[in-house]
Structure 1
Amino acid sequence: MRIAGSILIGVIAYLFGFFTSSMALTANAWAFSDGELNDTGLVAVLLLFLVWGLVFLRHRWPWVPFVAGALLTAGWGDALMLLIAVFHLVIRAPRRQAIIASAVSTGLMAFSTVRMCLAPPEHNPFSIFFLPDPAQVTGLEATIPPEDSHLAIRIITIAAGVIGLCTALGVGALLRRTRRMRAVESIAERQAQRNESLTAEIARQSERELLARELHDTLSHRLSVISLHTGALEVGAQTDPEVASTASALREEARASLEDLRHLVGGVRNGDLADPRPGHENSSPPSRATMAAIPELISSVASTGTVIRPLIVIQDVDSCPPALDRAAYRIVQEALTNAMKHAPNLPVTVDIAVSAARGIRISVSNPLPSAPGPVDVPPRPRYAPGPARGAGAGAPDHGPGPAGHRPGPQDAQLGSTGSGSGLVGIRERTEMFGGEASIGVFGNEFRVQVCFRSLSPRT
């Protein structure tokens, strides 16, 4: 619309300007011979077709029509192109150039107006309004207005020059000021948005620092106490290898948890805990939570007595972004935790395949616990696969243990800690990187399946 409007205005200015320049030809005696248009005047009229084509350059190169308009004003007596050019220069040109153009155009307009007022009235284009017979315009004799109209013709000439110059300079200055105010408002708006963003970032930073302090002061103390107690238990149980082995495993888990806690606190404090955007892969602190550490994770789970049936093929892990690498590790970790909490003493099948060609495929499944006969257990919902957020809220609660086994107090306490947020976290991590998650009951198994089609995260 803007381009079409500019072209339309250019066409109108071209036609109207050619008409006014043709009318201004009457101010030049050299264009007529015995009251008729001679060959020189005819060539001058033909040149007007080309000269007024420069009006279409008023936006990009306003100095070109300005020079042409200045020549027309000085030698021809027509200042319309000059006024159009100076109007656009006042709007778009730098301040110094706009002042120079305004001064030059004012001087040329004054010169042209004075020259036209001193010229014979029959050579003034405005004399057409005072002819007794308009048909004389096309006649062969020179058009001579009445003597009593000479003063009125000069007044109209001066008024037309002043009005045209003031309109071009005044409207141009007004539009220039309007554009400048819009630019200032745009800058002020961007600054206001930047200030709001900085204020929000400062508030988030304060919240992150508070959360990091609470995480460190609360969990670090408890994990340190657990590590000390398990170390003492390992030393004191030298006569019982099984207890010593369990205590050693607990101490290693407590130490690893302290290390992960330090990385977690650093990520929360810096605000770059898991940023999947390109260019931020190296901003997160180093961590053991990578796909290369999945075998170690499975070994630590197996040391608790859980039967793990792993099938792990990991290739091209170096080409995987750290954020996606860490997310895959957390998905496997949460799936194993879910199986240990809600299906204790049952084997867990872990199938992981990672490659640049196939992406990442994770499958963690365990048999459904069966009811021990006459125990009255309310029916458990079956969760079909799909992206529904609420589907995993109660899915991990598979009921009591297998036949012949009643969960002990430890199993009950561990199973009661589930709130379904772990499965929701798996879905959220999967969706964050453009993967697909299928969580629910498949036949006689509860299965967590996650697929990332590429090792490059979705941006």
Structure 2
Amino acid sequence: MDASQQTGTHEQAAEPPLRWRRWLLPSAVADELDLDSEGRPGRRRRTARDWIVDFSCFLIAVCVGMVAADQLDQNEHISHDVAVLDQLIGVLACAALWLRRRWPLGLALVMVPISLLSDSAGGAVAISIFTLAVHRPFRYVAWVAGASIALVPLYFVIRPDPSTPYAVSVGFTVIIAVTCVGWGMFVRSRRQLLMALRERARRAETEAALRAEQAQRLAREAIAREMHDVLAHRLTLLSVHAGALEFRPDAPQAEIARAAGVIRESAHEALQDLREIIGVLRAADHGEESGRPQPTLVALDTLIAESREAGMKVSLDNRVTDPEAVPASTGRTAYRIAQEGLTNARKHAPGAEVAVEIGGAPGEGLTVTVSNPAPPGEVPHVPGSGQGLIGLTERATLAGGSLEHGPRAEGGFTVRAWLPWQG
């Protein structure tokens, strides 16, 4: 049916599951879901995903440190005291990784000199550079990572690896540092993309709400204009005759009776017009002229025939035995609901068979249902503002009824309305 309404319904349905999956998102992204009333991020705390990632990083750093410590024990050029000190610094560096989310820049700066003092801290150094690339702009990453890479040749001069050539050791270490920086920048850009898309979706929802509010305001203005056009004449007559009775209480009985009859008839007709106006919105987009008789439920067969002549597949189940017995205002509203439903189905579900169902009785109310399955083929993009369904909801509400619409679980779209039918 209406594309913008279907989109809005899907977005509303998708929002709660996203909230429930908050703990599977990075904290930087999940905090965007907890914006307060002023648009500021909510309280920052680790999600379940953050705990898993942090523990994995800590475990990787520990494993790298253990491998480095084992190589230190086998290196005859390094004394036992130096190896113990190296391992102690490595343990402290691995433990400091739990602070990487709160102080990524400070941790990376501290790891730069540590990379010269400890082999066991190699894994922690690499992870600190990766964290800095994720959480800070590139200018910070360039300075810190550049300083760390610049110290690599000096490190292998101070602590050469007897089993590996000098150039190979330097090149391999530089490749690892550049890989950590590149991977971190990729993760950061992906998170920024997700946040930008969510911000665009939030702005789109706000704009849709503003458009809906504007459509309702325009509908109410149309009602106000129609009330003035229809009721002004009758209320003026009523006021004139009532004023005449007030200023001529000694008028002949025949004249008083005639004026009272005019007052009674004008009040009755004004009340009838008011009831009809409340249930009817002037649909200017259908080209109706002021004062032109509006179709009621009796004209529904003609509407279905016209739709079939236009190539639509329409089935009608009209269980109202006497359409003429339906009040005019209720019949007009039911007709407009069926007309709008068929129009939307023709635009957004071409080729699908549309089912129109009308039922009800005096005292029970009148029900109108327009539904269609998913279109059988590819649907061309048709722009839709969604104001048609907004207008239908306003019609049904002002008539004392209700209207609901939305996609069906098996595909397609349904519009269902209930209108009062006084017995």
Bigger Rg, which one: 1
Normalising by the smaller structure, the TM-score range is 0.3 to 0.5
Comparing both chains, which one has the higher relative contact order based on Cα–Cα distances under 8 Å and sequence gaps of 6 or more? 2
TM-score (ref. length: structure 2): 0.46
